Amino acid sequence: MSRKRNSRRDLTPRVYDKKSGEYRPVADLREQDPAVRNKYATPQRRSQLRRRRRRRFLLVFYILLFLTVTVGAVVISLTVLFKIDAIEVTGTSRYSANAIVEAAGIKKGENLFLANTEGASAAIQQKLPYIGTAKVSRGLPAKIYIKVAEVPVSGVLENKGKYIVIGTNGKVLEIANRMPANFPVIKGLSLAKAETGKMIVYKDSAQQDIFKDLTAAITNNKLDKITEIDLSNPSKIQILYDSRILMNLGLPSDFDYKIRFAKTILDEGKIKENEYGTLNLSVAAEDNKSFFDPSHAISSAPSRQSPSSASSSTSSAQ
C-alpha cells in the first residue's frame, strides 16, 4: 500500500530545470518562469494575457502617436507659424523708434517664440545709454512690444578734459567733449573708470554712497532746477538751486529730510523767486530749523542781487 501511494505521488509532472540541473515539478516552475506559466495556463488565463498585451500595445501606440503629433506641431509653429509681422515701440525717449528696434536686434519675419526678449532689453539699454528701462514682450499672434523710459540725469562731471553725463542709476549716459547744457554740474567726485553705457566706477566707495543718497533724495522729492552739486567738503555738502540759492546740507546724513525741508520752504514762497542767498539746512533734521542769509554772495550765481539781499532772515518748515 505504501509503495503504491509513493508511486502515485511520483507521477507529478516534472520538467528539467537547466538552472538547477534537476527535474522539478511543473508547479514550481510556473511560479518562477513566465514562459512555463503561460504554457500551462488555462484558456481563460490565456485570453486575459492576450487582452493585457493588446492594451499595452495600444497604450504604447497612442503615446508614440501623441509625441509625433506634438513634435510636428512644435516644428510647424517654429518654422511656419507665428512669424513677427509688427514691432511697436512706446514710451518717451530721445531716440527714434527705428533706432530702438535696431538696437533690440529683433527683426520682422523671425519666429515670435524664438525671439530673445531679455537679450533685446539688455541690448537696448547697452547701445542706447539714455534708456533706463526697456521692456520687450510678445503679443499674439505675431507682434513684439517695446516699452522704454529714459533714466533721469544726475549731473555732469568733468574728468580728464571730458564731460561725463551720469544717470540716477549710476550709468554713464554720455562722454562729451563739451559741457552739455541744462544738466547740474557735479564737483568733488572722483572716478576710477567711466565707459558709455556701463556703470560708473568710483575711487571712493564712501563718496559713492554720499552721491547716490543725495541724488536719490533730490529725485524722490522732485526738487528741480538744480544747478550744481558740490561734494568737495565731506562735512559741508552743498547744492546750488536755480543758480541763486546755495543750500548747505552740512554732514552727509538725513538728505531726504533736508531736501524735503528745503522744497517746502520754496513751495510755500518763504524765499521769493528773485532772491539770492544761502539756505543753511545743516541742523534741519535735529532742530527742525533752517536759516536763510540773503546777503551771502553766490559765486556760481549771476552777479546781480535781489532788492532784499542786504538783510538777513531765518526760515523754518514742518
Give the per-residue pLDDT at 107: 92
Domain boundaries, the chain: 26-67, 86-150, 153-315
Kindly report the number of other CB atoms within 10 A of residue 194's CB atom: 19
- DSSP states of 120-180: HHHHHHHHSTTEEEEEEEEETTTEEEEEEEEPPEEEEEEETTEEEEEETTSBEEEEESSPP
In CATH, what number does 86-150 get? 3.10.20.310
Query: Digits of tens for pLDDT over the chain (318 positions)?
Result: 445 555 455 555 666 666 677 766 655 545 555 665 555 556 776 677 777 878 888 888 888 888 887 877 766 666 667 889 999 999 989 999 999 999 999 999 888 888 999 999 999 999 999 999 999 999 988 899 999 999 999 999 999 899 999 999 899 999 999 999 889 999 999 999 999 999 999 999 999 999 999 999 999 999 999 999 999 999 999 999 999 999 999 999 999 999 999 999 999 999 998 899 999 999 999 999 999 998 765 544 333 333 233 333 444 444
- Is residue 310 classed exposed, middle or buried when 0-12, 13-18 and 19+ CB atoms within 10 A define those classes? exposed
CA angle centred on 87, ends 86 and 89, rounded to 5°? 145
Task: Supply 311's cell numbers.
Answer: 538783510
Report pLDDT for 138.
93
Q: What is the CATH number of domain 153-315?
A: 3.40.50
What pLDDT is attached to residue 167?
A: 93
pLDDT of 314 reads 44
Task: Count CB atoms within 10 A of the CB of residue 281.
Answer: 26
What region, left, alpha or beta, does residue 36 occupy, with left being phi > 0 and alpha being psi -120 to 50 degrees?
Answer: alpha
